[in-house]
A = this chain, B = another copy of it.
Amino acid sequence: LKPKVDINADLGESYGAFKVGNDAAIMPHITSANIACGFHAGDPVTIDKTVKVAKKHNVAVGAHPGFPDLMGFGRREMQLTPDEVESYIIYQVSAIRGFAETAGLKLQHVKPHGAMYNMAMTDEKLSKAIANAVKKIDSKLIVFAMPKSALDAAAVDLGLKVAHEFFVDRNYNPDGSLVSRARPDAIVQNLKKTVDRTARAVCEGRITAINGKTVRLGEVHSVCVHGDTPSAVKIAEALKKGLITAGVEVKAVGSFI
């Protein structure tokens, strides 16, 4: 049996006249789009366009909800109550789902953004609130989460499907967490290395940590490429080719999870 994997990217991060990323160029090389929902980025016109471009390229669409912090792009920790989190997720995911449905698409997944995603690595209350919201909206929505994260556990507890993510150009600590962006070695700069380690992560479920030790990731369902860096298109393109060459079937996670 051929291994399968999804390639996801954060898209639709423009906001009115503020243009971010190169959505149209990256779409041919990915299979799932995480679309910003208006709280940390993504105005309605941008969302509408992004959903339509995704449809054109047969890319599955998901919601990418974040903290209500446009000035900080959702990258700053905020302490919210579980009720606030749940309502904010329902609001944002429902908005994206509306655009997906008017375009004739079904919403595939939900992936929290930025600080919310990072906090959901370990914050159980937050993770439970996110999972509760997703379940209330549609229990068939797939939650994107780091393997073994609090969000992974919370979603599984509620019977939701979880897509385990691998970050293609981020270095990992021996415990399976990401090397902090504050460190100079957070990012894997070499393109070939990025492709090779991703292929290994997908095929073998393990990678080499920053200290040389092997990290068991378990099954990887989706690999994340960044949409907002100048080299994003190049990475996504090389990655898709490299994975196919390595014998991996690249397709939207909703089709095989």
Could you list which residues of chain A lie within 8 angstroms of chain B, going by C-beta atoms? 15-18, 20, 38, 41, 43-45, 47-48, 68-73, 75-80, 83-84, 86-88, 90-99, 101-102, 115, 136-137
Q: In the bound complex, do residue A45 and residue B83 qualify as a contact, i.e. CB atoms below 8 Å apart?
A: yes
Q: Which residues of B contact A115 (CB under 8 A)?
A: 79
The chain B residue with its CB closest to the CB of A74 is: B17
Partner of A78, one of B41, B76, B93, B99: B76
Partner of A44, one of B16, B75, B87, B136: B87
Tell me if A's interface is mostly helix, strand, loop or mixed.
helix
Q: In the bound complex, do residue B44 and residue A91 qualify as a contact, i.e. CB atoms below 8 Å apart?
A: yes
Q: In the bound complex, do residue A102 and residue B16 qualify as a contact, i.e. CB atoms below 8 Å apart?
A: no
Q: Which residues of B contact A45 (CB under 8 A)?
A: 83-84, 87
- Known contacts being A48-B87, A78-B77, is A16 close to B99, with CB within 8 Å? no
Q: Which residues of B contact A43 (CB under 8 A)?
A: 71, 87
Distance in Å from the Cβ of A238 to the closest Cβ of chain B?
25
- Known contacts being A16-B71, A71-B43, A84-B45, is A102 close to B77, with CB within 8 Å? no
Q: Which residues of B contact A20 (CB under 8 A)?
A: 17-18
Copy total for this chain: 4
Q: In the bound complex, do residue A79 and residue B77 qualify as a contact, i.e. CB atoms below 8 Å apart?
A: yes
Q: In the bound complex, do residue A78 and residue B78 qualify as a contact, i.e. CB atoms below 8 Å apart?
A: yes
A49 to B242, CA, bound (A): 42
Partner of A16, one of B70, B95, B136: B70
Q: Which residues of B contact A97 (CB under 8 A)?
A: 94, 98
Q: In the bound complex, do residue A78 and residue B69 qualify as a contact, i.e. CB atoms below 8 Å apart?
A: yes
- Known contacts being A84-B45, A98-B137, A137-B98, is A16 close to B90, with CB within 8 Å? no
- Known contacts being A47-B87, A98-B95, is A69 close to B70, with CB within 8 Å? no
- Can you name 23 A-B pairs with beta carbons within 8 Å? A15-B15, A17-B20, A17-B72, A17-B73, A45-B83, A45-B84, A47-B87, A68-B69, A69-B69, A69-B78, A76-B78, A76-B80, A77-B77, A79-B115, A87-B99, A90-B99, A90-B102, A91-B95, A91-B98, A94-B95, A94-B97, A95-B95, A102-B136
The chain B residue with its CB closest to the CB of A84 is: B45
Distance in Å from the Cβ of A161 to the closest Cβ of chain B?
19
Most buried by B among A68, A73, A86, A88: A68
Q: Which residues of B contact A18 (CB under 8 A)?
A: 15, 18, 20, 41, 73
